[in-house]
Chains A and B, each alone.
Chain A
C-alpha cells in the first residue's frame, strides 16, 4: 500500500503514522470485539479494544481522572470505531464526549449498529461521526472505511 504523507499538513487523520493507523474499537459484545479487531488487523491497523464507553474514555485520557490515561503504550489513536448500543454509555454519548474534548475532537469516530434507524444515523452524523456502519461488518466495509479516511485531511 503506498500512501503519500505530507509532513507539512497538520492533519490528525489517518495519514501521519506510517502504514498502520492505531484504532480504538469499542463494543460491549465479546464476539463482535474479536471480529472487528481481526477485520482491522487484516487491513493493516494496530488495534486496541475497549468493552464500554467509560473504558474507552479512560484509554483516551478523557476519564474522570483526566491526568491519567490507561494508554500505556502512549500510541496515538487515529480512529475510534464504536458500537451504538452499549449499556451505561451509548456510542452516541461517547461520540459527544470525544467531540467535546479539545484534545480528541479531531479524531474521526465511526459508529456501528445492527439496527438501521435513519434518525439514529442522522443524529450521529450531525454530532460529527465520520461514518455509520451497519452490522455485521464485512471486510469490504473496513476497506471502504480505510479509503474514505485516507481522504480526510488531504
Chain B
C-alpha cells in the first residue's frame, strides 16, 4: 500500500516538471519570434530611404525610429523565483507599452502620408515615394505581429506569477 502511494506521488511530480519545461520552451520560443519580428520591423524602417532628384534629404519621420529601437527588453525566464517573475512581468508590461506606442504613432503617420489631410493642407507623399511607403507598410505589419506576440508573452509571464502564488 505504501509503495503504491509512493509510486503515484513520483509519477505526479514527473508530470508537473515536464509541463513546466514545456511551458518554458513555449514562452522562450514566443519571445524569440517576437524579438525577430520587432527587430525586422526596426531594421526595415531604419534602412528604408528613397532619394529623388527634386528632394535633397532622405525622408524620415523622427518619432518612429526612436520608439522602435527601444524594444529589446527581453529577459529569458529560466530561473523561477517570485522576485524575478515579478520583475519580468513588470518589464514585459513596459515592453508592451513601448511597442504599442511606437506602433500607434507609426501607423497614424503612415496613414497621413498615404491619404493626406485636406483640412490641414498636408499632401500625401505615397504617390511620389511608392517604394518607401511599401517598405514602411511591411515594417508596420511586422511590428503589429511583434506586439501581438509580446502581449501573449506578457500574459504567459503573468499567469506564471499567479501559478507560483497558488502554491
Chains A and B are bound partners:
no
Partner-A contacts on B (CB < 8 A): none
Partner-B contacts on A (CB < 8 A): none
